[in-house]
Amino acid sequence: MTTIGTVHKGANEPPRWTPVRVLVWVAVALVGAVAWAVIALSRGEEISAAWLIFAALASYAIGYRFYARFISYRVLRVDDTRATPAERVNNGADFHPTDRRVLYGHHFAAIAGAGPLVGPVLAAQMGYLPGTVWIILGVIFAGAVQDMVVLFFSMRRNGKSLGQMAREEIGPVGGVAALVAVLAIMVILLAVLAMVVVNALADSPWGAFSLIMTIPIALFMGFYLRYVRPGRVMETSGIGVVLLLAAIVGGGWVAADPVLAELFHFSHNELTFGLIVYGFIASVLPVWMLLAPRDYLSTFMKIGVVVLLAISIIVAMPSLQLPAFTDFAFNGEGPVFAGSLFPFVFITIACGALSGFHALIASGTTPKLIEKESQVRMIGYGSMLTESFVAVMALVAACVIDPGVYFAMNMPAGALGEGVQGAAATVSQLGFTVTPETLQATADAIGEDSVIARTGGAPTFALGAAQIFSAVFGGQAMMAFWYHFAVMFEALFILTTVDAGTRVGRFMLQDTLGNVYKPMRDVSWKPGLYLTSALVVAGWGYFLWAGVNDPLGGINQLFPLFGIANQLLAAVALAVCTTLLIKSGRAKYAWVTLVPLVWDVVVTLTASYQKIFSADPKIGFFAQRAQYSEALANGETSLGSAATVDQMRQVVVNTTVDGVLSALFALLIIVILVDAARVWIKALRAGGQLPTTEEPYVQSKLWAPSGLVPTAAERQIARERAAAGAADTEGR
């Protein structure tokens, strides 16, 4: 018999091993092993993308069932008899016990954006294998672990932010380092993402028209929700999606009309300034006008596209055109980004494997909404596995296109020579034979003038996705539509991130400046609001402008910096987690976050070291700077892809800024690590226990299942509790 107020611990015991269960898991392990064997051992012959999908899904299943379960019950010791902040505080607004499936959707929509669609595409220059191995193993042992452990510790502290936890649990030095890391990554992240949009939409009237149309569509949705149908989010988003699809179709007509095509034809610099102005206006407008409706639209599209892509890959089963490894994995001379497999694959692919940024979300809104402690596995670990799967699909999209086309799209314009002839010759020299006709035919198929030097990953992903979609829906005739559909939703995610990120950066800046000048802290004080918004926009705007005009290719130069910044934030998060495990007397399990932390630090510091000290001008910022300033001193007027003296000076400035930033990031990592190690030693000397800021235990009165699908035992408990009149959300 169950009475209200008794909470079951039954779910904490591992399910009993029945013969059927044993068989199922043996089968999962076998499928995974065979898939891994195929993708790792095949040389020379094309393999089907299905093997990548099987290897990923089987590995995720095993990681979730065994490793994540071990972490939640043995390491974190989740306790479902303990009330979560959502249950204790329950204020009907930001603290509210939320159905685990709803929260999973929420959390996934908050962590996943354009990131997992970009990194894997760039890393594909080394072949499909390095990226695949890192995405799958990285998420199981590092990324998903970080998200889940941060979520757990923040939940035990009423949803404290990562910065607060770093300050309180490590110390003021670690706290300040964390704050600087967050601000720095925000600026670099927004600049790199905005650059992806610029590179995808420059000289593309079709793409530019569709994206510009999202602004009136979002405004319409905003006014509709505010004044006509308040609260009808589903209905409004439905209308928005239909209008969005119409805008994509309309883009085709615009591109076909010579006058309109000229009107929506923008150069790189025009788009750059457009984005900067847009970013500023969007971040000072009230959220109901633009941000909120855009966010609804983006959530809708995000989930829809992920499902659509998964179905299409499974139905179309395309085969991979890129080899397992290219020579660039070992010689470090890759044209997309320089440097060899270690450490640069692990820097380039952050989102989808290990992304420090997620720690901000896992210590933000999600911990305040979670209903039961054991649900951190499904929400923290599970959402990250889903994002990782998105990254695998992006890698598939990059690998199904012709390798010659892939390199022609992803090399900086300066390196490719004149027109399709020059590009085809350059790429063929790399060992990936492609004809000028193929390059032109690809551009024609997607309704663009050219596919050459469309760097940034988004156009490449869009081309691969369009091939996959059109194989299932609509055939060759739909290629152009699907290409612009894919470009558009990536740009939509990015604009949402730019808008939200500028706001978050502004709030942090207002808070920091508020220490010096009080009125700044008042978030509705207009002069402060405009000033801080302008500062944040100027920050990312500078890097965007410098990147777009970088003679050596902005993505090539800035993407490693973005990866390093993201992994720096992961180092902060994992250091906080390790500190908390040690301080709470769980030093024997500290390896769970310490091993990924050490890996992350080794990778990031090696990359930073090479970026700072490498004598190879292709990799080292300062070596590159020396090469260009020497050439200038010798009176040379061109060097490499810098064709004029001005461009050479630009390279000198950019490499100085980028080099100094790399050094700053490396220094921050070392500071945080040393400060954290100090606390670890103190805790271990004190007998392996130090006070932490955990909220005291309160008995829970709620009950809910732990996983996505309730087990038979959980369904039985739900029925009994419902019959006894318990106020659980399950079954309501």
Partner 1 sequence: MGGRLRQGWATLARGLSSAWQIARGVVGERAYEIYLEHHARTHAGTPPMGEREFWRHHTDRGDTHPGSRCC
The reply to whether 121 sits near partner 1 by the rule CB under 8 A is no
Question: Closest separation between CB of residue 275 and partner 1, Å?
Answer: 16
What sign for the dihedral angle of Cα 714, 720, 726, 727? positive
The reply to whether 231 sits near partner 1 by the rule CB under 8 A is yes
Across 322-352, b (16+ Cβ under 10 Å) vs e yields bbbebebbeebebbbbbbbbbbbbbbbbbbb
The reply to whether 91 sits near partner 1 by the rule CB under 8 A is yes
Binding positions for partner 1, 488-517, rule CB under 8 A: 496-497, 500-501, 503-504, 507
Question: Closest separation between CB of residue 288 and partner 1, Å?
Answer: 4
Question: Closest Cα to residue 9, out of 730, 700, 723, 709?
Answer: 700
Piece of the chain touching partner 1 by CB under 8 A; list 35-43, 168-176, 292-300, 437-445: 292-300
The reply to whether 233 sits near partner 1 by the rule CB under 8 A is yes
Piece of the chain touching partner 1 by CB under 8 A; list 293-301, 439-447, 633-641, 699-707: 293-301
Count of residues of this chain found to bind partner 1 when the rule CB under 8 A is applied? 59
DSSP codes of every residue in 667-731 = HHHHHHHHHHHHHHHHHHHTTS-----PPPP-B------SSSS--HHHHHHHHHHHHTT---STT
Among 55, 166, 189, 405, binds partner 1 (CB under 8 A): 189
In this complex, which beta carbon is closest to partner 1, that of residue 186 or of residue 208?
186
DSSP codes of every residue in 485-545 = HHHHHHHHHHHHHHHHHHHHHHHHHHHHHHTTSGGGG-TT-HHHHHHHHHHHHHHHHHHHH
Structure tokens given for 285: 């407008």
From the number of C-beta atoms within 10 Å of its C-beta (0-12, 13-18, 19+), residue 593 rates as buried
Among 7, 55, 83, 111, binds partner 1 (CB under 8 A): 111
Q: Angle at Cα 276 formed by Cα 274 and Cα 282, nearest 5°?
A: 95
Piece of the chain touching partner 1 by CB under 8 A; list 354-362, 399-407, 445-453, 483-491: 354-362
The Cα 94–Cα 254 span in angstroms is 44
Among 9, 21, 77, 232, binds partner 1 (CB under 8 A): 232
The Cα 186–Cα 278 span in angstroms is 17
The reply to whether 372 sits near partner 1 by the rule CB under 8 A is no
The reply to whether 608 sits near partner 1 by the rule CB under 8 A is no
The Cα 263–Cα 105 span in angstroms is 39
Question: Closest Cα to residue 559, out of 324, 322, 339, 271?
Answer: 339
The reply to whether 419 sits near partner 1 by the rule CB under 8 A is no
Map tokens 């603290």 to a residue.
95
Q: DSSP 3-state helix, strand, coil percentages of the chain (rounded to 5)?
A: 70, 0, 25
Computed over its alpha carbons, how large is the radius of gyration of the chain? 26
Question: Closest Cα to residue 445, out of 411, 482, 408?
Answer: 482
Piece of the chain touching partner 1 by CB under 8 A; list 8-16, 33-41, 295-303, 396-404: 295-303
In this complex, which beta carbon is closest to partner 1, that of residue 92 or of residue 635?
92
The reply to whether 474 sits near partner 1 by the rule CB under 8 A is no
Among 288, 314, 315, 643, binds partner 1 (CB under 8 A): 288
DSSP codes of every residue in 447-485 = T-S--TT--SSHHHHHHHHHHHHHHHTTGGGGHHHHHHH
Terminal-residue alpha carbon distance, the chain: 21
The reply to whether 291 sits near partner 1 by the rule CB under 8 A is yes
Assign 446 to helix, strand or coil: coil
The reply to whether 485 sits near partner 1 by the rule CB under 8 A is no
The Cα 520–Cα 529 span in angstroms is 8
Question: Closest separation between CB of residue 497 and partner 1, Å?
Answer: 5
Question: Closest separation between CB of residue 186 and partner 1, Å?
Answer: 9
The Cα 692–Cα 497 span in angstroms is 34
Question: Closest separation between CB of residue 31 and partner 1, Å?
Answer: 28
In this complex, which beta carbon is closest to partner 1, that of residue 51 or of residue 104?
104
Among 68, 78, 309, 361, binds partner 1 (CB under 8 A): 361
Among 215, 287, 478, 652, binds partner 1 (CB under 8 A): 287
The reply to whether 5 sits near partner 1 by the rule CB under 8 A is no
Among 102, 441, 681, 686, binds partner 1 (CB under 8 A): 102
Q: Which helix (H) or strand (E) holds 377?
A: none
Structure tokens given for 99: 């159905």
The reply to whether 299 sits near partner 1 by the rule CB under 8 A is yes
Per DSSP, 14 falls in state P
The reply to whether 98 sits near partner 1 by the rule CB under 8 A is yes
The reply to whether 422 sits near partner 1 by the rule CB under 8 A is no
In this complex, which beta carbon is closest to partner 1, that of residue 295 or of residue 550?
295
Piece of the chain touching partner 1 by CB under 8 A; list 89-97, 212-220, 334-342, 680-688: 89-97
Q: Which residues contact 306 (CB under 8 A, 6 or more apart)?
A: 112, 386, 390, 393
From the number of C-beta atoms within 10 Å of its C-beta (0-12, 13-18, 19+), residue 708 rates as exposed
Question: Closest separation between CB of residue 244 and partner 1, Å?
Answer: 15
Question: Closest separation between CB of residue 101 and partner 1, Å?
Answer: 5
The reply to whether 216 sits near partner 1 by the rule CB under 8 A is no
The Cα 648–Cα 624 span in angstroms is 11
Question: Closest separation between CB of residue 686 and partner 1, Å?
Answer: 35
The reply to whether 105 sits near partner 1 by the rule CB under 8 A is yes
Among 80, 169, 295, 373, binds partner 1 (CB under 8 A): 295
The reply to whether 166 sits near partner 1 by the rule CB under 8 A is no
| Residues 498/190, Cβ–Cβ less than 8 Å | yes
Assign 48 to helix, strand or coil: strand
Binding positions for partner 1, 515-534, rule CB under 8 A: 523-524
Draw the binding track, 561-600, toward partner 1 (x: CB under 8 A; -: no contact): -----x----------------------------------
Given the rule CB under 8 A, which residues bind partner 1?
Answer: 90-94, 96, 98-99, 101-102, 105-106, 109-116, 189, 193, 225-226, 230-234, 237, 286-288, 291-292, 295-296, 299-300, 303, 350-351, 355, 357-358, 360-361, 364-365, 496-497, 500-501, 503-504, 507, 523-524, 566
